Amino acid sequence: MQQPTSILAFYSFSPLSEGHLAELRLQLLAFGTERGMRGLTLLATEGINGTVCGSPEAIGEWRTMIDGMFTATIWNESTADELVFPRWLVKVREEIVALNKPDSSRLDGTHLAPTAWNAMMERGDAVIIDTRNTYETEIGMFEGAIDPAIKNFQEFATFAETCDVPKDKNVMLYCTGGIRCEKAVASMKDAGYQNVFQLEGGILSYLTEFPEGKFNGECFVFDHRVAVDQRLQPSTTYRLCPCCGDPGTEHAVCPHCAHSFVACSGCLKKNPEAACSKNCAYHYARTKQPSRVSTK
Q: What is the mean pLDDT of the chain?
A: 93
From CA 93, how far away is CA 22, in angstroms rounded?
11
- Segment 233-245 mean pLDDT: 93
What pLDDT digit, counting tens, does each position of 24-33 carry? 999 999 999 9
Right CATH for 5-92 from 3.40.50.300, 2.60.40.420, 1.10.10.10, 3.30.70.100: 3.30.70.100
- Segment 244-273 mean pLDDT: 93
Task: Kindly list the catalytic residues.
Answer: 175
Residues 6+ apart with CB under 8 A from 13: 46, 47, 72, 96, 104, 107, 182
Q: What is the per-residue pLDDT for 105?
A: 42
What pLDDT digit, counting tens, does each position of 276-288 carry? 999 999 898 888 8
Q: What is the per-residue pLDDT for 153?
A: 94
Q: What is the per-residue pLDDT for 288?
A: 81
Which candidate, 112, 128, 278, places its Cα nearest to that of 201? Answer: 112
Q: What is the per-residue pLDDT for 98?
A: 81
Q: Does domain 104-221 correspond to CATH entry 2.160.10.10? A: no
What pLDDT digit, counting tens, does each position of 185-232 carry? 999 999 999 999 999 999 999 999 999 899 999 999 999 999 999 999
What pLDDT digit, counting tens, does each position of 152-189 carry? 999 999 999 999 999 999 999 999 999 999 999 999 99
Q: What is the per-residue pLDDT for 108?
A: 66
pTM of the model: 0.89
For 55, counting Cβ atoms within 10 Å of its Cβ (0-12 exposed, 13-18 middle, 19+ buried), the class is middle
Q: What is the per-residue pLDDT for 103?
A: 52
Helix (H, G, I), strand (E, B) or coil at 65: helix
Q: Which residue has the higher pLDDT, 153 or 294?
A: 153
Q: What is the per-residue pLDDT for 99?
A: 73
Q: What is the per-residue pLDDT for 3?
A: 78
What pLDDT digit, counting tens, does each position of 80-122 carry? 999 999 999 999 999 999 876 555 444 666 999 999 999 999 9
Which candidate, 97, 99, 98, places its Cα nearest to that of 157? Answer: 99
From CA 195, how far away is CA 257, in angstroms rounded?
55
Provide the Cα torsion 129, 133, 138, 142; round to 10°: -30
Domain boundaries, the chain: 5-92, 104-221, 240-288
- Segment 60-71 mean pLDDT: 97
Strands 250-253 and 260-263: antiparallel
What pLDDT digit, counting tens, does each position of 8-52 carry? 999 999 999 999 999 999 999 999 999 999 999 999 999 999 999
